[in-house]
Amino acid sequence: MSETDARQRTIVCLASYFKGGEFMRECKRQGARVILVTREKLLPEDWPRESLDDIVVVPNDAPPELYVYAVSQLARPQKIDLVAALEEFDVITAGHIREQLCLDGMTGSEARVFRDKLAMRVRARGAGIPVPDFVHVLNYQELGQYMERVPTPWVMKPRSDVSAIGIKKLDDSERVWRTIDELDARENLSERSPYYLLERYVAGDVFHVDSLVNNGRVVFAGVGGYGRPPMDVTHQGGVFISRTVKRGSEDERKLLRLNRKLIDAFGLKHGATHAEFIKSAADGEFYFLEIASRVGGAYIAESLEAASGINIWREWAKIELARGGNSYQVPKPRKEYGGVVLSLARQEEPDTSGFREEEIVYRVRKSYHVGLVVRSPKLERVEELTNGYARRFGEEFTAVVPPPERPG
């Protein structure tokens, strides 16, 4: 028996946003000591304190170096075994901590490919996965040649932000050059144009594949499709919809194959992933958009659990704690359908008591948000419910705010 096996393991969870409660609960159920590191403003949130052995608070604007130092100090009186990033913005920081403490898992440089949209496109293209034509917003000659070669419209994307934050749709080269000037006038160096890429805009339906990976192998994956592209919802407002893709369909099979190829190319050994692809309306081909080494947001995890019975947060925790061994076995998933309808709301606490269908399995409880998750053995029923709820949300609740330029 190894020294680690002989004692209680300790896992440090980084969470720059309020999420991952079920991950921490499962770590505690598995017998681990659980320490949460989060930002000062998030301390009052409803964390699973009954499952936490300690909470360490850092300033809201803490740089990665401070996280590394804080966890290093934690490691003085106790042995730290694992570090998990529960949020997108913590993925690279967790890698730096692993490097400092010589722990198993992705290093900062290995993690960067899951955060940097330019790096991930280069990696995916190198693996033979279709990617919309793109160019780094850096070399003027390359930019000019790109705009002569690739038809408009284009989208300019920050390399490291999440969702559709900071994305701009551009229709001519003059607007591209002016946008570069505007970005380069920013005070923060990391918000200037070299931290952006320019990409061909592909019209079509957007899909996501959410996976669990153990010992480098995809052991579970669920395929979903968005009602509207997330970029459209972010920039135009309205209701967000995601639901399970028809099981056994050609789209599902293609996306599962692309997803396995993608994860293999990115070299992930353990964890959860959320990958997005767009099916071009012009040629019907799937193109890679992005991948994150985290659980999907916007209550996609709840929709996935409704369809499959697999709680991806819980199973990810089991994978982390089984690291290096062969003890983890994913539960057998059920083959039903799930969907989520979500919107910003005008009301602080929207009342959804008027929604009484038996298929509702989860109600979102978050200020100024309204959301429902449904489950059914039939995709047609999920489509009927989610489309109907989206219309009602628009009439009764939905608020529209300008899209953010930077993460809050």
Fold of 3-112: Rossmann fold (3.40.50)
User: Per residue in 274-311, pLDDT tens?
Assistant: 999 999 999 999 999 999 999 999 999 999 999 999 99
Over 50: is that where the pLDDT of 3 sits? no
- What is the C-alpha separation between 302 and 308, in angstroms, rounded? 10
Residue with the larger pLDDT of the pair 374 and 238 = 374
15-24, 153-162, 273-282, 398-407: least confidently modelled range? 398-407
User: Which range is least confidently modeled, 73-77, 85-89, 212-216, 325-329?
Assistant: 325-329
- In which residue ranges of the chain is CATH 3.30.1490 found? 133-200
- Please list, in sequence order, all residues whose beta carbon lies within 8 angstroms of the beta carbon of residue 205, skipping any fewer than 6 positions away: 225, 226, 229, 278, 279, 281
Under the banding of pLDDT at 50, 70 and 90, the label for residue 323 is: confident
Percent of the chain residues past pLDDT 90, beyond the cut: 89
Q: What pLDDT, on a 0 to 100 scale, did the predictor assign at position 197? A: 97
The model's pTM:
0.93
Residue type at 290 in one-letter notation: E
Q: Is the pLDDT of residue 43 over 60?
A: yes
Q: Using pLDDT thresholds of 50, 70 and 90, give the confidence band for residue 230.
A: confident
Peptide bond into 153 cis (omega under 30): yes
Q: What percent of the chain has pLDDT over 70?
A: 94
Question: First vs last Cα of the chain: how many Å apart?
Answer: 46
CATH number for domain 133-200, candidates 3.30.1490, 2.40.128, 1.10.3470, 1.10.1330 = 3.30.1490
Per-residue model confidence as pLDDT tens digits over 342-369: 999 999 999 999 999 999 999 999 999 9
Which token pair is 396?
Answer: 């009764």
Distance of alpha carbon 5 from the chain centroid: 32
Strands (E), 110-249: 134-136, 154-158, 168-170, 196-200, 204-214, 217-226, 240-244
Q: How far is CA 65 from CA 11, 97, 115, 175, 391, in A?
A: 19, 9, 18, 37, 46
Contact 242, 206 (CB under 8 A): no
Model confidence at 231: pLDDT above 90 = no
pLDDT tier, 228 (very low <50, low <70, confident <90, very high otherwise): confident
Query: What's the chain's average pLDDT?
Result: 93
Q: What is the pLDDT of residues 95-126, one digit of tens each?
A: 999 999 999 999 999 999 999 999 999 999 99
Q: Does 79 have pLDDT greater than 70?
A: yes
Q: Is the pLDDT of residue 164 over 60?
A: no
Residue range(s) of every CATH 3.30.470.20 domain in the chain? 204-396
- Check if the beta carbon of residue 105 is closer than 8 Å to that of residue 94: yes
Phi-psi bin for 324: left (phi > 0), alpha (psi -120 to 50), beta?
Answer: left
Q: What per-residue confidence (pLDDT) applies to 59?
A: 97
pLDDT at 160 over 90: no
Checking if the pLDDT of 93 tops 60, the result is yes
Is residue 329 predicted with pLDDT exceeding 80? Answer: yes
Question: What is 204-396's CATH topology?
Answer: D-amino Acid Aminotransferase; Chain A, domain 1 (3.30.470)
| β 10-15/33-39 pair status | parallel
- Region 195-208: what's the mean pLDDT? 97
Q: How far is the C-alpha of 382 from the C-alpha of 403, rounded, in Å? A: 29
Confidence label for 407 from pLDDT (cuts 50, 70 and 90): low
- Cβ atoms of residues 87 and 17 within 8 Å: yes
CA distance 188 to 63: 14
Q: Which residues pair with residue 83 across a beta bridge?
A: 12
